Amino acid sequence: MSINQRKHTRFSLDIPATIVTKFGDRQETLLQQISIGGCFTDWEENIYAGDEFRLEIELPNKNRLPLKCKAIYRFEDTGIGVRFYEISQFEQELISKIISERMIREGLPIFPDPFNQPSKYIEEDE
C-alpha cells in the first residue's frame, strides 16, 4: 500500500504481538510498523491476503489488546500488511498509547499524533 493510500500515520516500531488464526493456532510475531488502522507484521506462512485473524498486542501494563484483523497484502518471506476492522475509538486510543509508550522506551524525541493522516507525496504532474 502506498503512503498516498494510508488513512493513518504508520510508525516503524518493533512491538511484540501474537497472531491467533481462525483455527486457534497461536504464533508469536513482531509488528514492524503500526498505525491506529493497521500494521505490518513478520512473515506468517499460513496467512494469505484476504484471511481474517485475531492479533493480540501487548499493552504497556502487560495485558493484551485483541484486535480483529484482515491480511491486505503479503510479501513472500518478508511480512504481511494488516488492516484492523471493527475497531472502536477506545481500541484506537489504546494503540496510540502503545505507540507513545514504545517511542518513549526507544528514546525517540517526537511524538506525532497517530490520529493524523500521513503526509502525501506530491506527484510530479501536480
pLDDT tens-place string over residues 20-34: 988 889 999 999 999
pLDDT reported for residue 92: 92
Distance between CA atoms of 59 and 87, rounded to whole angstroms? 16
Distance CA 47, CA 18 (A): 13
**Positive or negative, the Cα torsion across 14, 103, 40, 36?**
positive
Predicted confidence at residue 3, as pLDDT, reads 44
CB atoms within 10 A of CB 29: 22
Could you tell me the three cell numbers for 74?
A: 503479503
Q: Where are the domains of the chain?
A: 3-105
Given this model, what pLDDT does residue 12 score? 84
- Give the torsion sign (CA, 52, 58, 61, 64): positive
3-105 to CATH, choices 1.10.150.20, 3.30.390.30, 3.40.250.10, 2.40.10.220: 2.40.10.220
pLDDT digits (tens, 9 = 90+) for 40-93: 998 788 889 999 999 999 888 889 999 999 999 999 888 999 999 999 999 999
